[in-house]
């Protein structure tokens, strides 16, 4: 069974640009959650999508957005990038609440 796939693995962007990250969940999983991991703030929840609907949202500015497609694949977008957005972005897929959540390898975003 294939795991969670995130693309790209590494990304370097300039301040002010926007970026789109992609996550393909484990087959059959309908829930995709996104997290930001930094040395200072740790693992922080961004948002969760379930059956194409945003079910939960963390405390991030509106520059961070996401969506989920009918095949459960999800994308997150960050507009007007800031230096502080440099982080490892992780997505986790799950069958549903109360089920295990499995992480992808992450996208390492560097904003210069």
Which residues sit at the interface with another protein, rule CB under 8 A?
31, 33, 35, 42-45, 48, 50, 55-56, 58, 90, 92, 94, 96-106
Please report how many Cα atoms fall inside a 13 Å half-sphere around the Cα of residue 46, on the Cβ side: 27
Nearer CB in complex with another protein: 16/69: 69
> How near is the Cβ of 85 to another protein at its closest, in Å?
19
Q: Which is nearer to another protein, 18 or 43 (CB)?
A: 43
Which CB atom, from 78 or from 89, has the smaller least distance to another protein? Answer: 89
Distances (CA, A) of 67 to 2, 100, 109: 22, 22, 19
Nearest CA to 37 out of 78, 89, 82, 92 is that of: 89
What is the rounded distance in angstroms from the CA atom of residue 66 to the CA atom of residue 72? 12
Minimum distance of another protein from residue 16's CB (angstroms): 28
Cα 46 from Cα 72, distance rounded (Å): 17
Least gap, CB of 1 to another protein (angstroms):
14
Compare residues 31 and 72 and give the one whose CB is closer to another protein.
Answer: 31
Whole-number minimum distance, CB 5 to another protein, in Å? Answer: 11
Q: Which two tokens stand for residue 55?
A: 């079910």
């Amino acid at each position: 069974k294939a795991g969670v796939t995130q693309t790209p693995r590494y990304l370097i962007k300039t301040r002010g640009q926007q970026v789109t990250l992609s996550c393909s969940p484990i087959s059959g999983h309908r829930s995709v959650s996104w997290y930001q991991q930094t040395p200072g703030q740790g693992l922080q929840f961004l948002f969760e999508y379930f059956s194409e609907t945003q079910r939960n949202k963390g405390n991030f500015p509106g520059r961070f957005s996401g969506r989920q497609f009918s095949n459960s694949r999800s994308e997150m977008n960050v507009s007007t990038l800031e230096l502080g957005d440099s982080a490892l972005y992780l997505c986790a897929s799950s069958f549903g609440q109360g089920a295990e959540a499995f992480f992808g390898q992450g996208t390492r975003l560097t904003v210069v």
